[in-house]
């Protein structure tokens, strides 16, 4: 008698996960999706705190089919996830971190979303417990979207529902050479290759749990690993998207989330040696991928800092960072009848420094809070065009009414 294919393979990579693992597993057992429609593949990555034993006890007790694999420590989350993915049989795969937990209806809702729309990736709403989750992509449920038409580029963690056939067709695996950012690389590739992405924003599918011991992978590691992660993600985007506005749109993510923090407040505490090294690591990335199109999508202080990194002007960067650390607000400078707002961060219109005004020009979303700002909208542009057309018509009418005045057609005929 053949066993029906499960709908979802839940892959759990676990390392030193106690006691958080207990609630994680309980959330899987409590799923509204029928037990026979779920399989669990749990990989204990060389734990010594009872994680492996907890997984085996769970497998022996529950109605769900559970496979437990125990292996020597691989050093990162990629190895266990790849092992689990290689064993998965479900139509879909969901990567669940052993510290976190699922909402009771998470898998049922995400599977239904994917089946209804034929999409290859489904994002379920995330809430944080002692952690701040990504937020900008949960404004509304989207049955079908893509990485260019939504904010999903700002959630690149692996905790998504992926169509397994899609992953196998493209030979997708987590990069085990990366010690951080491996999930961002995997998920961005999935977004770029997917035949549609769904966003389930009206139900909390995933609870991102902050460990009290602070041992979360994204909080550890040398700064050099962040540059490795940024380089890998930028190269992936460049490989899949030709240079231009669409590439710039996606490049915002690695520049803003991965690279810029290396030139934030912590930079002021770095030694001179580390500061020089950070500029050396940033140089090839700035030369190859930093463009005006990326910059115009950032806030003024973000754009200014990255420009100073690109121009290799560390002394000016320190001045800007000290201003930001002081919590002072830049003076807004309104020009062009309020249609332009410049934020006078350090060195604004300082002739001895020579930074262009465009670095300080606020985009509408940042300028809207400034009293007196007048945004150019489609309606205002149309009104200006109508007023200009009326002035031209009035001028021509007045000129035609004057005795002896020739119209343009009469002048041409006379010539």
Catalytic residue numbers? 183
Q: What is the DSSP letter of 243?
A: T
Q: Which neighbouring-strand residues pair with 206?
A: 102, 126
At 274, give phi and psi (nearest 5°). Answer: -65, -40
> What would the two tokens of residue 289 be?
């991928």
| Measured CA angle at 198 (ends 30, 161), to 5 deg | 40
C-alpha to C-alpha distance for 405 and 89, rounded to whole angstroms: 86
DSSP line for 10-53: EEEEESS-TTHHHHHHHHHHT-SS-GGGEEEEEEEES-SSSHHH
Q: Which neighbouring-strand residues pair with 8?
A: 38, 92
> What would the two tokens of residue 366 be?
């940042």
In 146-252, beta strands by DSSP E: 161-163, 197-209
Q: How far is residue 386 from each of residues 109, 394, 400, measured CA to CA in Å?
A: 50, 12, 21
Burial class of residue 48 in the structure, from the number of CB atoms within 10 Å of its CB (0-12 exposed, 13-18 middle, 19+ buried): exposed
C-alpha to C-alpha distance for 292 and 344, rounded to whole angstroms: 19
> What would the two tokens of residue 410 be?
């009469």
Q: Which of 280, 287, 120, 285 is nearest to 193 (CA)?
A: 120
> Please, which residues have CB within 8 angstroms of residue 252's CB and are 6 or more apart in sequence?
153, 294, 297, 298
C-alpha to C-alpha distance for 184 and 383, rounded to whole angstroms: 44
> Please, which residues have CB within 8 angstroms of residue 275's CB and are 6 or more apart in sequence?
267, 314
Q: Which of 335, 66, 97, 109 is nearest to 209 (CA)?
A: 97
| Residues 278, 267 contacting (CB under 8 angstroms) | yes
- Count other C-beta atoms under 10 Å from residue 150's C-beta: 18
């Amino acid at each position: 008698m053949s066993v029906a294919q499960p709908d979802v393979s839940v892959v759990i990579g676990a390392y030193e996960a106690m006691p958080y693992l207990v609630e994680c597993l309980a959330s899987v057992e409590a799923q509204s999706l029928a037990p026979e429609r779920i399989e669990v593949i749990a990989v204990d990555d060389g734990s010594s705190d009872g994680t492996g034993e907890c997984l085996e006890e769970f497998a022996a007790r529950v109605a769900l089919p559970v496979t437990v694999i125990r292996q020597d420590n691989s050093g990162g989350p990629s190895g266990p996830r790849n092992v689990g993915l290689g064993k998965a049989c479900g139509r879909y795969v969901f990567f669940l971190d052993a510290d976190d937990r699922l909402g009771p209806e998470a898998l049922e809702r995400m599977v239904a979303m994917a089946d209804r729309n034929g999409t290859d990736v489904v994002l379920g709403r995330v809430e944080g417990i002692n952690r701040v989750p990504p937020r900008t992509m949960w404004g509304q449920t989207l049955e079908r979207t893509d990485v260019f038409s939504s904010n999903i580029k700002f959630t690149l963690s692996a905790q998504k529902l992926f169509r397994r056939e899609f992953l196998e067709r493209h030979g997708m695996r987590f990069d085990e050479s990366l010690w951080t950012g491996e999930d961002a690389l995997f998920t961005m590739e999935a977004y770029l290759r997917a035949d549609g992405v769904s966003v389930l924003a009206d139900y909390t599918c995933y609870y991102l749990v902050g460990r009290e011991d602070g041992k979360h992978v994204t909080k550890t590691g040398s700064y050099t690993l962040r540059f490795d992660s940024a380089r890998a993600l930028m190269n992936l985007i460049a490989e899949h998207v030709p240079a231009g506005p669409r590439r710039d749109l996606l490049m915002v993510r690695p520049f803003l989330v991965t690279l810029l923090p290396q030139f934030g407040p912590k930079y002021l505490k770095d030694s001179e040696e580390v500061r020089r090294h950070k500029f050396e690591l940033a140089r090839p990335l700035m030369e190859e991928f930093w463009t005006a199109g990326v910059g115009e999508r950032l806030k003024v202080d973000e754009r200014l800092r990255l420009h100073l990194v690109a121009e290799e002007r560390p002394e000016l960067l320190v001045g800007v960072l000290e201003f930001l650390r002081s919590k002072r607000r830049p003076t807004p400078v309104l020009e062009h009848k309020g249609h332009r707002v410049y934020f006078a961060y350090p060195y604004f219109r300082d002739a001895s420094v020579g930074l262009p005004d465009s670095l300080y020009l606020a985009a509408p979303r940042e300028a809207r809070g400034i009293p007196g700002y007048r945004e150019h909208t489609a309606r205002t542009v149309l009104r200006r065009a109508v007023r200009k057309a009326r002035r031209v018509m009035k001028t021509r009418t007045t000129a035609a009414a004057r005795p002896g005045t020739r119209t343009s057609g009469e002048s041409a005929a006379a010539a």
